[in-house]
Amino acid sequence: MEVVHLVERNQEAIVAKASSLLQRGGVVAVPTDTVYGLVADVLQATAVRKIFRIKKRSHLKAMPVFVRDTAMASAYAYFDPQVGKLLEEVWPGRTTVVLRKKESMPDLVTGGERTVGMRIPGHPFLAALLAAYPNPLTGTSANLSGSEPAASGVDVQLVFQRHIPRPDLLVDGGMLPASSASTVLDITNPSNPRILRMGAITKEKLDEYLRITNGFRITNS
C-alpha cells in the first residue's frame, strides 16, 4: 500500500494520482468528514469486489456511495423536487440519504437492494476528488467489517498492514476531528422519512432541514 501525505500544496497532484488509480480499478483509502473511507469507482465491478475482500465484508451488504452533487445523484437514484430541496440542505455533510436506485447503480454496490445510500462528503480533498472524477465512488469505512473505524492515516496502516488484499493507495490526511459515523436517513417514502442510524447529525437538525424545505417530520426506525 503506497502512502502519500496530504498537505494543501500537494492536493491537486494527489487528486490526479488517485483519479488515475481509480480509473484503473484501484482502491484508495481517503480522509472524509467522518472517518477514513475506502473509495472505488462504483461502475467497476472488479474494484468493488476488491473492497469486499479488503474489508472481509459480505457482498450482500450494501455500500454507501459518494456523489459530487445532486445532479450526479439524480443519474443513479429517483427523487422528486421536494426531496431534491432537502438534499441541497443536508449536503455536503454527514447525512447519508437512502433513495430508490435507478438501473444505472449496480446491484453489486447495493447488495441487491432496490435502494442506495448516498451523500456528498464535506471533506475538501474528497470534494476535489469527486469534482475531478466522472463517476460516483464507494463510501464505506476503511476498516475490517465489524471493527472500529479508522480516525487517522496511522490507524489505516495498522488495520491493513497484516492483511491482503489491502488498499492500493492511502491518502494520509492525519488525525481527523472526532466524529460519529454519518446519520442515515431513509427517504424512499418522502411522506414518512425515517432515521435508520443516528450519527453525526441529530434528529433535531434533520427536522430543522425538513421544516426549511416544507417537508414532513422524521420518525426513528
Q: Which three cell numbers stand for residue 200?
A: 453525526
Q: For domain 2-220, which architecture applies?
A: Alpha-Beta Complex (3.90)
pLDDT in tens, 1-55: 999 999 989 999 999 999 999 999 999 999 999 999 999 999 999 999 999 999 9
For the beta carbon of residue 74, count every other beta carbon within 10 angstroms.
Answer: 16
Return the beta strands (E) in 35-128 as ranges.
Answer: 37-39, 65-66, 77-78, 95-101, 115-119
Across the chain, mean pLDDT equals 92
Measured CA distances, 19 to 64, 125, 138, 165 (Å): 19, 12, 13, 20
pLDDT at 122: 95
Question: Residue 220 in 3-state DSSP?
Answer: strand
Could you tell me if 217 and 187 are in contact, meaning their C-beta atoms sit under 8 angstroms apart? no
Q: 112 CB contacts (<8 Å, ≥6 apart)?
A: 60
What is the pLDDT, as a whole number, of residue 174? Answer: 95
Please say whether the beta carbons of 54 and 167 come within 8 A.
Answer: yes
Asked if pLDDT for residue 111 goes beyond 60, the answer is yes
Q: Contact, 77 vs 118, CB < 8 A?
A: yes
67 vs 191, which has greater pLDDT? 67
Q: What is the domain partition of the chain in residue ranges? A: 2-220
